[in-house]
Amino acid sequence: MKIDTGIHMKGGVITERDTDLCTIRIRLPAGQATIDQLRGIAAIVKRYGAGTVHCTTRQTIEIPHVPATKLKKIERALIKNGTPIGSEKDEIVNIIACPGTDRCKFANINTIDLAQRIDAKLFGKEMPVKMRIAISGCPNACTSPMLNEIGIIGRVLPVRKEGMCTGCGTCTNYCKESAIRVKRGVCVLDPEKCVQCGVCIRSCPYGIIQAEHRHYLVTVGGRRGRHPRIGRELVEIEDANDVITVVDRIVNWVYRRAWSGRLLSDQMDEIRFEAFRKEISETVLRK
């Protein structure tokens, strides 16, 4: 049996228990696919697969039980369909995002556009470690950004207009963190408890609580798995273009300094994360 080893070694080609078969993971940034692409995937699965697909936790689709002899043909078909073979090895894998401001009433940022822009710039880049990037439109963190090597969270700092609060208490009822209380007829925010989700801003019936600082929180070094770890906060950024620049710099930093064979979260101190954080913060602040 002659197998195209080049295609077989692609990150999105996963050898199954039966080594004559492969699972094909496709590239779907932020889990977005058109109706025509879904029809195309269905036709490809019918022709080259076993009639089923698997939806992964990274918002993409896997085609299981593909004979290794059909790899070249399925690769061409997936490229033509606009859903090429994806990635799952020591690379930048499929970038995930919640619906963001396109649909979610809790979101503070446009997550899908950001995910697609990062994907276009960085997807599939070979790395010493696997790099997972997750974007969440708010601190509800539905995509678990802080459990990824790079996490991005949309946040907003609320501020009350001085002298205008009626003390109705609506914001205190909506705040899940008990970060707001009514004191002497006005709402008072406890910054130590506030997670900057922005719910109080949208809940205020009089528009008295407003957004003072809408931004992206970027974290680095999180992980899932048998020993999960929360990523470390790197920087707060106000502009989406700067987020892409910072993510690119994180990737370059990991590429140059990280060791293969170990998770990024296990070597953050060795590769001098604190020095990198200081460098990034100074760069963003200078701008």
- Say what the pTM is: 0.93
pLDDT band at 192 (very low <50, low <70, confident <90, very high): very high
Number of C-alpha atoms within 13 angstroms, CB side, residue 170? 14
Residue-level pLDDT at 287:
59
| In contact, 88 and 14? CB cutoff 8 Å | yes
Residue-level pLDDT at 261:
92
Domains of the chain: 5-81 (3.30.70.3340), 96-155+214-286 (3.30.413.10)
Encode pLDDT of 124-168 as tens digits: 999 999 999 999 999 999 999 999 999 999 999 999 887 778 889
Give 90's DSSP letter.
S
Residue-level pLDDT at 77:
97
Contacts of 9 (CB under 8 A, 6+ apart): none
Residue-level pLDDT at 2:
46
Question: Exposure pattern of 195-230 as b/e (b: 16+ CB <10 Å)?
Answer: bbbbbbbbebeeebbebeeebbbbbbbbbeeeeebe
* Helix (H) or strand (E) run with residue 125 in it: none
Helix and strand counts by DSSP (H, E) for the chain: 8, 11
Q: Lowest-pLDDT range, 58-72, 99-113, 140-154, 173-187?
A: 173-187
Mean pLDDT of 69-80: 95
Residue 270 pLDDT > 60? yes
**End-to-end Cα spacing for the chain:** 58
Residue 1 pLDDT > 60? no
Encode pLDDT of 18-64 as tens digits: 999 999 999 999 999 999 999 999 999 999 999 999 999 999 999 99
Give 129's DSSP letter.
S
Encode pLDDT of 204-236 as tens digits: 998 889 888 899 999 999 999 999 999 999 999
| In contact, 86 and 31? CB cutoff 8 Å | no
Q: How many CB atoms lie within 10 A of CB 42?
A: 13
Residue-level pLDDT at 286:
66
Using CA atoms, how far apart are residues 241 and 110, in angstroms rounded to an integer? 12
pLDDT band at 123 (very low <50, low <70, confident <90, very high): very high
Strand partners, 93: none
